[in-house]
């Protein structure tokens, strides 16, 4: 008994230092905290009476939060054999383990202390997320639900829209950041945010770019540029490189309306496109603006998610963009995505969007990302070059069919481009579409 009473004292004294506790606790799994609390009354009272111990809570590795069952069987044989309550819905069943954990934390008085909650890969129905986002016992400010199971996304959209509705109570929602679209963290600790096959998969189904030779050439162009940026800015976050198409582009594109409703209220690990065609002033007209430029931005488009990251270089001509480059610290937080990993030692939205890997010798690297509709005929899928609306007008050829564009290029003398076409079939004329493509395509030539 004497040994049991004496040995914990040095450790308890060490953890009583607020600086040490603040640095260590986010790295201790919840099972370790509970085991430590069970060693003595002193540790029990210290852990469950200190608000900083459970401020960062990662449940993604807990076995108690997982549900390793298939959806309820139509025949009901398994469930009848278990004599379960017929009033239990499928969503209630899959929410059971997580609600059990929350119930235990609530009884011990620490649920309200959780501000950063990681639920990646667990069974998290939409009703549980509604409770976390809208109910008073929770004070979660940053929530990560990447790769969760048994989630009805349509209901989650409704929950988020309701939480961000006009006329909501002051101070709600408490949630400030939601990690949802990115893939789960790999064992190596890396996140494949950008698809390596995006260049090939996004080619037009017609023309010479569908051939193996053209795809290989454009892939090597993209790899060469990425390798160059890796050398110049080896520590830059992928969002601040010319990384190309997001690996979850199709998924995030379906959430543009939710991102728009939550704009300025809840931040995501994705952002809205800020291209000029999404700005109503560019369409209606600005009394102080350039009328000719307003005519170029011809049609207004509804909000859309940014799915292509163009890099800090911006336009090939002006090295910027009409909407401006998003420089951390100089633009509203609405323009910046949440960056991986979620911060462990704070629940600040500002720090969740800030990274030391986004710095250069000249200061923070700027971010530029757009939707594919805003990049039509002005972005090369091979080398990721981009020409903005102020420097390159596509109005003359935007209504051309692919065959008409080919004829226009041939009549203009090939890459000389008297017509001024920069991009054809998704590839830039100057670099990715070489002269052999026109001379040999379809007739036994280079890629024919």
Selection from 133, 132, 127 nearest residue 90 by Cα: 127
Q: Is the pLDDT of residue 359 over 60?
A: no
The Cβ of residue 13 has, within 10 Å, a number of other Cβ atoms equal to 10
pLDDT at 80: 46
The Cβ of residue 358 has, within 10 Å, a number of other Cβ atoms equal to 25
> What's the average model confidence in pLDDT over 324-346?
91
Q: Compute the Cα dihedral for 35, 40, 43, 46 and give only its sign.
A: positive
Tell me the pTM: 0.79
pLDDT at 408: 62
pLDDT at 182: 82
pLDDT at 280: 73
- pLDDT digit string, tens, across residues 53-109: 999 999 998 876 666 655 545 544 444 444 455 667 888 888 888 999 999 899 999
Backbone angles phi, psi at 268, to 5 degrees: -125, 170
Cα 278 to Cα 146: distance, rounded to the nearest angstrom: 28
> What's the average model confidence in pLDDT over 1-19?
68
Q: Which of 4-13, 96-105, 106-115, 433-442 has the lowest mean pLDDT?
A: 433-442
Cα 331 to Cα 349: distance, rounded to the nearest angstrom: 14
List the structure tokens of 340: 């991986």
Taking CA atoms, 409 is separated from 316, 381, 396, 418, 448, in Å, by 21, 19, 13, 8, 19
- pLDDT digit string, tens, across residues 199-254: 333 333 344 444 444 444 444 454 455 444 444 455 567 888 888 898 888 899 99
Q: 160 falls in which pLDDT band (50, 70, 90)?
A: very high
């Amino acid at each position: 008994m004497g040994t049991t009473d004496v040995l914990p004292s040095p450790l308890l004294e060490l953890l009583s230092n607020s600086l040490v506790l603040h640095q260590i606790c986010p790295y201790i799994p919840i099972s370790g905290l509970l085991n430590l609390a069970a060693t003595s009354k002193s540790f029990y009272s210290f852990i469950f009476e200190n608000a900083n111990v459970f401020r960062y809570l990662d449940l993604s590795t807990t076995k108690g939060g997982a549900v390793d069952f298939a959806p309820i069987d139509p025949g009901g044989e398994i469930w009848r054999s278990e004599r379960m309550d017929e009033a239990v819905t499928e969503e209630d069943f899959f929410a059971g383990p997580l609600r059990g954990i929350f119930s235990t934390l609530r009884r011990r008085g620490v649920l309200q202390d959780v501000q950063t909650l990681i639920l990646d890969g667990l069974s998290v129905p939409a009703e549980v997320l509604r409770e976390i986002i809208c109910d008073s016992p929770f004070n979660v400010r940053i929530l990560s639900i990447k790769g969760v199971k048994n989630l009805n996304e349509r209901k989650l959209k409704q929950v988020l829209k309701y939480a961000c509705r006009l006329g909501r109570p002051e101070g709600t929602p408490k949630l400030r950041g939601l990690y949802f679209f990115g893939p789960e963290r790999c064992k190596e600790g890396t996140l494949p945010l950008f698809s390596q096959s995006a260049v090939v998969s996004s080619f037009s189904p017609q023309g010479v770019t569908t051939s193996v030779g053209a795809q290989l050439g454009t892939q090597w162009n993209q790899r060469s540029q990425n390798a160059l940026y890796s050398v110049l800015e080896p520590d830059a976050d992928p969002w601040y490189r010319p990384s190309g198409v997001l690996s979850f582009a199709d998924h995030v594109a379906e959430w543009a309306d939710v991102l728009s409703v939550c704009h300025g209220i809840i931040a995501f690990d994705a952002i809205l496109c800020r291209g000029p065609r999404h700005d109503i002033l560019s369409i209606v007209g600005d009394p102080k603006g350039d009328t000719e430029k307003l005519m170029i931005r011809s049609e207004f488009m509804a909000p859309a998610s940014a799915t292509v990251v163009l890099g800090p270089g911006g336009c090939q001509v002006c090295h910027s963009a009409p909407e401006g480059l998003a420089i951390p610290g100089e633009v509203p937080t609405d323009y910046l995505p949440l960056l991986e990993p979620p911060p462990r030692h704070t629940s600040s939205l500002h720090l969740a969007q800030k990274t030391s890997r986004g710095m250069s010798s000249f200061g923070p690297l700027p971010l530029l990302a757009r939707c594919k509709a805003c990049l039509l005929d002005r972005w090369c899928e091979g080398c990721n070059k981009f020409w903005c609306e102020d420097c390159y007008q596509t109005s003359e050829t935007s209504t051309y069919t692919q065959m008409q564009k080919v004829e226009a290029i041939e009549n203009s003398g090939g890459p000389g481009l008297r017509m001024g076409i920069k991009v054809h079939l998704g590839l830039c004329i100057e670099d990715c579409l070489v002269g052999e493509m026109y001379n040999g395509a379809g007739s036994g030539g280079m890629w024919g």
